[in-house]
């Protein structure tokens, strides 16, 4: 029996503009500026269509055919602007590259400017879910500290430090070099 091997990508949508309806002269906390909820009309079908279109634009028919069958949105949260993609292990780098080149939401006219940030790549859905839960907890704690006026900690610094700790933990040589990585953390600076 053949086992199909997949990769799961945990992706955050980061915005660089002010939230819709926010007054231009009102102060905006850093956490709110970058981690905004996504518009309610974004659906998994919209994401899939945009990603497939970007893969086709970057890699042509060969790339589009490679990711067409195995690309699937497993989870989409508008509240946290997070989604999880499933793709075959052989082609996940094509999707990752396409996400790096995408610069707007696939809904609305013109699409709202954003950046798609791959936070975690894993071989199992469970590990990606755990990473998403951990990041959501960090966001909540950072937002609470920022709203309380704690100037010693920055919400963005807290998230990036957590990513660096995760990267160092996974980089420790605990596995044999012959075995493939099960999890890969992001944000190598």
- pLDDT at residue 98, as a whole number: 95
- Indicate the pLDDT class of residue 23, thresholds 50, 70 and 90: low
More confident residue, 4 or 185: 4
| Neighbour tally for 148: CB within 10 Å | 9
More confident residue, 61 or 18: 61
- CB neighbour list of residue 9: distance below 8 Å, 6 or more residues apart: 84, 85, 87, 92, 95, 96, 99, 118, 120, 121, 128
- pLDDT at residue 59, as a whole number: 93
CA separation for the pair 74, 97 (Å, rounded): 19
Query: Residue 178 pLDDT more than 90?
Result: no
More confident residue, 15 or 163: 15
Decide if 5 contacts 123 (C-beta within 8 A): yes
Residues pairing with 12 in the sheet: 82, 117
- pLDDT at residue 168, as a whole number: 52
Residue 28, both tokens: 């905006």
CA separation for the pair 170, 172 (Å, rounded): 5
More confident residue, 166 or 119: 119
Residue 119, both tokens: 């936070």
DSSP classification of residue 103:
-
Residues 124-160 have pLDDT tens digits of 999 999 998 888 887 777 777 777 776 665 555 665 6
- Sheet of strand 114-122: strand arrangement: 72-77, 82-88, 6-15, 114-122, 183-185
Fold adopted by 6-123: Alpha-Beta Plaits (3.30.70)
Query: Residue 188 pLDDT more than 50?
Result: no
Residues 44-103 have pLDDT tens digits of 999 999 999 999 999 999 999 999 888 999 999 888 888 999 999 999 999 999 999 998
- pLDDT at residue 176, as a whole number: 39
Tell me which residue of 104, 117, 112, 128 sits closest to 53, measured CA to CA. Answer: 104
More confident residue, 39 or 91: 91
Alpha helices of the chain — where are they, by DSSP H? 30-34, 44-68, 92-101, 125-147, 155-171
- pLDDT at residue 41, as a whole number: 82
Query: Residue 30 pLDDT more than 60?
Result: no
| Neighbour tally for 159: CB within 10 Å | 20
């Amino acid at each position: 029996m053949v086992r199909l091997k997949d990769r799961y990508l945990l992706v955050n949508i980061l915005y660089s503009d002010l939230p819709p309806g926010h007054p231009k002269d009102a102060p905006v906390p850093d956490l709110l500026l970058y981690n905004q909820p996504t518009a309610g009309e974004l659906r998994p079908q919209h994401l899939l269509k945009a990603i497939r279109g970007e893969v086709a634009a970057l890699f042509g028919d060969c790339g589009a055919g490679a990711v067409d069958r195995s690309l699937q949105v497993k989870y989409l949260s508008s509240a946290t602007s997070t989604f999880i993609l499933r793709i075959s292990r052989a082609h996940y780098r094509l999707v990752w590259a396409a996400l790096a080149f995408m610069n707007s939401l696939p809904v609305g006219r013109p699409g709202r400017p954003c950046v798609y940030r791959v936070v975690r790549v894993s071989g199992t859905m469970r590990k990606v879910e755990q990473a998403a839960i951990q990041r959501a907890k960090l966001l909540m704690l950072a937002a609470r500290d920022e709203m309380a006026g704690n100037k010693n900690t920055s919400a963005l610094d807290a998230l990036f430090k957590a990513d660096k700790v995760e990267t160092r933990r996974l980089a420790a040589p605990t596995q044999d070099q012959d075995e493939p990585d099960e999890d890969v953390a992001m944000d190598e600076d």
